[in-house]
Amino acid sequence: MEPTKFEELTPKVVLGVAAHPDDLDFGSSGTLAKFAAQGAEVHYLILTDGGKGSADRDAVPEELTKIRQAEQRAAVAAIGGTSAQFLNYPDGGLLVTLELKKEIVKVIRTLKPDVVITMDPSVLYSAQRGFINHPDHRAAGQATLDAVFPLARDHMSFPELYAAGYEPHKVATVLLTNFENQNYVIDITETLDKKLAALAAHASQVPDMKTTGGWIRQMSEMIGKTAGYKYAEGFMRIDVRG
């Protein structure tokens, strides 16, 4: 398959949607920092409360949620982002429901992003990497794609939102985080340090920043090599025509 040729992205408003605090920072914070540096508003929408992200037997979910939300806010600040919102669905139980889609549609119609970044819901597992994708990640990606198209675009979807003043909005481009299958590479050489700072903000999830920073650097180098950049992030990019 011929690699797809894309125009460079220069969004004004970017919305990242993910299941847990830290998901966006691992997958796409170099790109989000780059958009922010170009002058874009960058908003994070985190769907779950992140209350199960600990191996500590004494961890209290409500406390963990507070810690992780503070960490996420610090990470957003580190990349020069604009805001972080939390929907607080229970961690580990995220389902693709109409209710969830409606809440994402509400945010899309409010912020009116040109670019939406989320996780690729088609990633189920990688036998080669011994990896099963977290069900919350798949649900977050699926609900977000459904919200972008067609639900945010059509005034007849959730007419109660339209009646309440939420005008339909068409998202121009979706970037899906997918570590194996990518059609678009973004140069993050200038913003890798901000990405590392964002990840370091997630202290409850990243206890050893030296090791994590090492493999992030390595992975960014590997992706960069495919396009002649020092460091890069890769995505499946969809320019939505419908």
**Chosen residue from 20, 195, 202, 237 binding Zn ion by CB under 5 A:** 20
Question: CB of 131: closest distance to Zn ion in angstroms?
Answer: 12
Q: Closest residue (Cβ) to Zn ion? A: 20
Residue 182, C-beta contacts closer than 8 angstroms, at least 6 positions apart: 223, 234, 235, 236
Question: CB of 134: closest distance to Zn ion in angstroms?
Answer: 5
Q: Which residues pair with 15 in a beta bridge?
A: 43, 116
Question: CB of 205: closest distance to Zn ion in angstroms?
Answer: 9
Question: CB of 21: closest distance to Zn ion in angstroms?
Answer: 8
Residue among 141 and 168 whose Cβ is closer to Zn ion: 141
Stretch that binds Zn ion, among 16-24, 66-74, 155-163, 184-192 (CB under 5 A): 16-24
Question: CB of 23: closest distance to Zn ion in angstroms?
Answer: 4
CA distance 56 to 68: 14
Stretch that binds Zn ion, among 21-29, 59-67, 117-125, 180-188 (CB under 5 A): 21-29
- List Cα–Cα distances, 79 to 40, 76, 204, in angstroms: 12, 5, 19
Check if the beta carbon of residue 24 is closer than 8 Å to that of residue 18.
Answer: yes
DSSP state of 151: I
**Chosen residue from 23, 71, 114, 120 binding Zn ion by CB under 5 A:** 23
Stretch that binds Zn ion, among 12-20, 66-74, 148-156, 222-230 (CB under 5 A): 12-20
Check if the beta carbon of residue 48 is closer than 8 Å to that of residue 1.
Answer: no
Q: Where are the beta strands (DSSP E) in the chain?
A: 13-18, 41-48, 83-89, 115-119, 125-126, 131-132, 173-177, 184-187, 232-239
Chain-centroid distance of CA 88 in Å reads: 16
**What is residue 51's three-state secondary structure?**
coil
Residue among 31 and 205 whose Cβ is closer to Zn ion: 205
Stretch that binds Zn ion, among 18-26, 74-82, 108-116, 230-238 (CB under 5 A): 18-26
The answer to whether 109 contacts Zn ion (rule: CB under 5 A) is no
Question: CB of 213: closest distance to Zn ion in angstroms?
Answer: 19
Stretch that binds Zn ion, among 23-31, 59-67, 117-125, 225-233 (CB under 5 A): 23-31
Give the residue ranges of DSSP H helices in 11-97.
Answer: 23-37, 61-78
Per CB under 5 A, residues contacting Zn ion are 20, 23
